[in-house]
Structure 1
Amino acid sequence: MEFSEHIKTANVEDVVLRQPLHPPSRGTLCITGHHLLFSDREEGSSRQVLLLLRNIDAIEKRTSGSSGTITIKCKDLQVLQLDIPGMEQCLNIAHSIETLSCLDSVSEMYPFFYRPADLSLQDQWGLSSPESYYSQMKELHGRWRLSSVNRDYSVCPSYPPAVIVPNSIDDDTLRKVAKFRQGGRFPVLCYYHRKNGMVIMRSSQPLTGANRKRCKEDELLLQAVIDGSDKGYIIDTRSSQQAQQARMTGGGFESKSCYSHWKRLHRQMERGKALQESLIKLVEACGDESNNMDRWLSKLENSKWLSYVQTALSTAGLLAECVERDGHSVLVHGSEGTDSSLLISTLAQLIMDPCCRTLDGFLALLEREWLQAGHPFQQRCAHSAYSHTRLQQESPVFLLLLDCVWQLWRQFPLALGFSEALLLRLATEVYASDYGTFLCNSDQERCAVGVKDKTHCLFQALLRPREKDYYSNPLYEPTELAIWPSVHPQSLQLWRGFFLRWTQQIRHLEEAQEEIRNMVIEWGKLALS
């Protein structure tokens, strides 16, 4: 397809841009296959605004007389307004934006065309792999093995080609277990706790159904996980009632009689539509300009976003307690095992493992727990809070993770090796990016369309010296201790840096933080000299 087919008007002169934190400016608007480019033509100004079309969540057009106005609402929550002379030109631009901002074909998206001078397509794609993770974890090699049962993605389409499983379980057994778990997501190891040898496993729900079907191989696999231990815990991210209801549609849960050494704990976590609606309500509250405090607090509470943050952090804390304090292995799952399970296993690892709290370690953790583990980014992040189109699969689970990590970062300002700027960058990139990292829904899909061969990796780019310096926390002091978050309501705050990022107050806060950052770096240099 030629992008030019969708561009009836490529350039418009005398356009007025109204953008948060900037005075209105007049200039030239250009539209390309992937970007809107605005160039300020006023004397003495060299200001340019480059907006990735993929970042546009919704547009609203209004015409009056011979001119028109386009309001652009972005996935990063920025709202822009373009005053365009000429009604026909306005309608043409609006039509091009609507079409080009939601192209479905992955290979037509901008990451396949982005070629920065300082990166090469020959560079390593990604930071790690299940194979390298296993080879580095020497402690695993006795009781655990690396299986390539899924090398052609036929056993589980959403898993990577290699997974870590108990040494005593052969590949034929894994195939049988996969048929008993939704989507083929059989239990696999995602974390080994060096302090006591306990592990976190991930899977989807067992397909017990109304007839309470059993799978001896599944029972055998879970028994092998806790071999030599008195019990393990299963954290089901659904309520007990939801798990019971799932049996009516073929799903279910592990029964006490068949999994006698496992104790099941239910912790209901919202996902899907409820989470998406929560984000929409929160963004609406943040855009309320009435300046009425009671109304603001009421809208904030009604969005339920902070209660979802609280639930995620407390469930992750429970998981970490089972492993770190009680010394038991844990299996985590909900229904599909691609959302809430990844959320709490990631947060639990941040709580327990100092290696995951460095900049490099955190990005490698995201790669393992979200990209390789099959979180369907393309479905979940198709739209943000403004879109008029509501797709069934949308859900801001990854944004919820970043908010939870920000709460940890705020409560433990010295314990995490990265800055808030990194979390903000990731929150933007997951919805619209120059890089291929968050494209597609699984490793299999990325391989099928050539993402790893034809696009650049965001995580590699973030670890270049200049970027790494910017996204590092200058106050970082490594600690081997676990960092236990407080989940009391008064301990959790709205992530203003993201949800209020386009307001003047936040801009002043950013400037102050940057000044403090520079002072800390200078003091560090003086101390070294």
Structure 2
Amino acid sequence: MHAESIMSQSHLQAGSWMKDVANSGWYDYIGAILACTLKAVTEIVTFKCNVMIHCSDGWDRTAQVSSLAMLCMDPYYRTQAGFLKLVQKEWCSFGHRFRTRLALGDAPTTEYSPVIVQWLECVFQLLQQFPDAFEFTDDALLRLAEEVFTNRYGTFFQDNELERSHVVAGTLSLWSALLEDSQTWQNAGYKAEQMRIFPSVCQATYGIWEAYWFRFHARGARLKPAPLPPSERTAPSPSSLAPSPEVTEDPFAPDFLEGPSDHAEPSLFSPAELIPKAKAAPPPPPLFGDDDEDVFAKHTKRGDKSLTEEAT
């Protein structure tokens, strides 16, 4: 990883970090992912077409593009709670192979690949391009990028939900920890508007995720903001902690993209985690429902299995 290679850089030497990054093609991949996202968003929003997103296996680039497209089209997923639900739904529940890709508890294999970190940097690029469209800051991305490797929470254990279900009962949830400390990653300039965003894919608009790549360097220490004293901290935004609104209209009507939808999404959190602490305007409603019956799900005598398990 480039964050580790920069540890050896000295202020007395030029080093080769920029060359190493260029040789890795990291930002070429970032551009390819954003370009694919832009194509999907354009097809759905502009041309009112259906889009199927599927890579060779369905647990790497598929999750990257689908979740980025939802961030661009649905303002609900740009709220604090909505973003956590998006990660849970598109990455954890759909079976991204955290254990294999990040070598969690195992020696790295040829299948090691920081796919989730790559996606988090794509989200970082969106935050840079549309700073007031997100209720969360890049502090949330940095926390996720760190915790996927620590094994402190059961949220990212194993390679799919079936394997995770055997161990998650004795672990803590990262989502609960983040919601309890939501004021530390809340964007003060957030504007809750019903808008779609179209990412720029030009590398001239990219910024370096310095808080992540330089976190092992002396420069990284200067990039970390000092924590606010308790007297200056604000309460968590009720708009991000409130549960999704009830269904009031058909989300699959022909013109459902012409205006905001009230399609409800099943909660991934306990009621105690979603109780707002003050009255405020409701969050932007989600456009994408996750409670539709999967007509392609396979069933065997061993019980129901997810598509991810069937694929593996």
Give TM-score scaled by structure 2 length.
0.68
| CA displacement 1:227-248 (0-9 Å, x = unmatched) | xxxxxxxxxxxxxxxxxxxxxx
Kindly state the Cα deviation for residue 291 of structure 1 after the two structures are TM-superposed.
Answer: 5.5
Cα pair 2:137 2:186 within 8 Å, conserved: yes
Q: CA RMSD in A?
A: 2.8
| CA displacement 1:335-385 (0-9 Å, x = unmatched) | 11111001000011111110000010000011110111011111111169x
Aligned to 1:349: 70
Aligned to 2:197: 483
Kindly state the Cα deviation for residue 456 of structure 1 after the two structures are TM-superposed.
Answer: 1.9
Which structure's CA Rg is the greater one? Answer: 1
Cα distance in 2 for residues equivalent to 1:383 and 1:293: 34
**Which is bigger in relative contact order (C-alpha 8 A, separation at least 6)?**
2
Aligned to 1:330: 51
Aligned to 1:359: 80
Relative distance call for 1:286 and 1:339 in structure 2 (3 A) is same
Cα distance in 2 for residues equivalent to 1:296 and 1:502: 13
| CA displacement 1:246-284 (0-9 Å, x = unmatched) | xxxxxxxxxxxxxxxxxxxxxxxxxxxxxxxxxx35642
Aligned to 1:305: 26
Cα distance in 1 for residues equivalent to 2:42 and 2:224: 35
The residue identity in structure 1 corresponding to 2:131 is P
Q: Secondary structure at the match of 2:208?
A: coil
Cα pair 1:306 1:494 within 8 Å, conserved: no
Relative distance call for 1:445 and 1:480 in structure 2 (3 A) is same
The residue identity in structure 1 corresponding to 2:50 is S
| CA displacement 1:270-310 (0-9 Å, x = unmatched) | xxxxxxxxxx3564256433765584432221121111111
Cα distance in 1 for residues equivalent to 2:108 and 2:152: 24
Structure 1 vs Structure 2: percent identity of aligned residues?
31
Cα pair 1:285 1:300 within 8 Å, conserved: no
Q: Secondary structure at the match of 1:363?
A: helix
Of 200, 203, 212, the match for 1:498: 212
Cα distance in 2 for residues equivalent to 1:300 and 1:337: 27
Relative distance call for 1:480 and 1:363 in structure 2 (3 A) is same
Cα distance in 1 for residues equivalent to 2:179 and 2:52: 32
Give TM-score scaled by structure 1 length.
0.41
The residue identity in structure 1 corresponding to 2:48 is G
Aligned to 2:95: 374
Kindly state the Cα deviation for residue 329 of structure 1 after the two structures are TM-superposed.
Answer: 0.7
Q: Secondary structure at the match of 2:152?
A: coil
Q: Secondary structure at the match of 1:374?
A: coil
The answer to whether the aligner puts 1:463 opposite 2:184 as a matched pair is no
Higher percent of residues as helix = 2
Cα distance in 2 for residues equivalent to 1:295 and 1:498: 18
Cα pair 1:313 1:404 within 8 Å, conserved: yes
| CA displacement 1:109-159 (0-9 Å, x = unmatched) | xxxxxxxxxxxxxxxxxxxxxxxxxxxxxxxxxxxxxxxxxxxxxxxxxxx
| CA displacement 1:182-220 (0-9 Å, x = unmatched) | xxxxxxxxxxxxxxxxxxxxxxxxxxxxxxxxxxxxxxx
**Structure 1 residues 42-441: aligned runs within 5 Å:** 280=1, 283-284=4-5, 287-289=8-10, 293=14, 295-382=16-103, 390-441=108-159
Cα pair 2:6 2:217 within 8 Å, conserved: no
Cα distance in 1 for residues equivalent to 2:233 and 2:199: 26
Structure 1 consecutive aligned stretches of length 4 or more whose deviation exceeds 6 Å: 518-522
**Structure 2 unaligned runs (5+)?**
236-312
Q: Secondary structure at the match of 1:418?
A: coil
Cα pair 1:408 1:485 within 8 Å, conserved: yes
Q: Secondary structure at the match of 2:53?
A: strand
Higher percent of residues as strand = 1
